[in-house]
Amino acid sequence: MITAIREVRKTKGLTLAEVGERCVPPTTAQTIGRLETGTRTVSVGWLNRIAHALGVEAADLVKLPDRADVPVAALVGPDGANAPTSARVAVPPHPAAGMVAVLMEGSIGDYRAGDELWCARLAPADFASALNRDVLVPRPAGRFVFGRLIGREGDMLHVLPLSAGARQQVVADPAWIAMAVRLIREL
């Protein structure tokens, strides 16, 4: 099996030791290096452990003949744009299980018409992690509120819609909310 472990690790800016420490259970930099170079066989278990340590899906670490890599042409930072010191590839996004999408048909707040938001569904116990983030909140009869989650009091969520002059909406006890985690935009 041909893997892209090294490319993904370098794109994430991690050392072999850092990836080894992030594995559950932790392993050595030497083991990660052997798995990268193919001197040690990469099992499905190892692939899953390394993917978790890198914060990607296991499928992102397998090179498939029909999937084109996107080479990284430049790294942009405070000192400007620079060429990478070694070959790198960008990992295309893949939705995680349970994600939902929000499609922008018109411009609102920082979003433009045509933008696509990928949102992670959250259970009530995780609502606090979405404070000060853009969320989609279901309401009765198939309606939704979309805006910035600005507060939570008990089972009441306070959402500020993103349109200018909009008033705060209060939603009681939603079964779930979806927090925006990835913006996909055509330029």
Q: Using one digit for the tens of pLDDT, what is the confidence trace for 74-84?
A: 989 999 999 98
CA-based nearest residue to 59, from 31, 88, 92, 81? 92
Expressed as residue numbers, the domain containing 53 is 5-90
In a shared domain, residues 82 and 62: yes
Q: What pLDDT shows up at residue 102?
A: 94
In the listed set 90, 108, 129, which residue is the last one of a domain according to the structure?
Answer: 90
Q: What pLDDT shows up at residue 162?
A: 92
Domain count, the chain: 2
Segments in the chain below pLDDT 50: none
